[in-house]
Amino acid sequence: MRYNVEEIERTAKEIRYRLDFPATSGFFAGHFPGNPILPGVAQVQICIEVLAKSLARPVHLRKLESVRYRRPVTPETVCELTVQLPDDEGRVVFRLGCSEGLVADGRMLLVTEDSDDV
């Protein structure tokens, strides 16, 4: 289990998820020994994975327009992820936070495919 995820709210514009990261998550393996923190790329990866599941279609990233990482995520941290649904250009805005505050936020351009194309 890399992480646990639960969709907690969906509106016409965005989806909110609850995430937690077990100490045994493979994301922490080697990153870093004795001082485990969630890799920044894992946060983007999770955005894409949960959005693909919610949209029920494959999603991949075309461009990271801007992402800022503001605080580390350590094992057993509970986070809330808010992902705006893609606009007409595929642009998505996300925010990842925990009880201590904002973890990361950013804008990215996605390509979504019809499931029938895969």
Partner 1 sequence: MSDGDGMRSSADAASRFLPHGGTARLIREVLSSSSESMTCIARFPSENALLQDGRAASHLLVEPAAQAAATHLAILAVESGTEIRGFEGFLTSAKNVEFFLPDFPADTDVTIHVRPRGTIRKAKSGLFKFRFEAELDGTPLARGELSTYVMPLES
- Where along the sequence are the contacts to partner 1 (CB under 8 A)? 2, 25-27, 29-33, 35, 37, 39-42, 44-45, 48, 60-69, 72, 106, 111
Q: Return the number of the residue (9 or 100) whose C-beta is nearest partner 1.
A: 100
Closest separation in Å from C-beta 1 to partner 1: 10
Cα separation values, 2 from 20, 76, 111, Å: 9, 11, 24
Cα separation values, 96 from 20, 44, 69, 87, 117, Å: 12, 10, 9, 19, 31
Closest separation in Å from C-beta 75 to partner 1: 13
* From 2, 16, 18, 31, the catalytic residue: 31
What is the end-to-end Cα distance of the chain in Å, rounded? 26
Q: Return the number of the residue (45 or 77) whose C-beta is nearest partner 1.
A: 45
Q: Return the number of the residue (15 or 43) whose C-beta is nearest partner 1.
A: 43
- Cα–Cα distance, 64 to 107 (Å, whole number): 6
Identify whether 60 is a catalytic site residue.
no
- Cα–Cα distance, 62 to 112 (Å, whole number): 10
Active site residues: 31
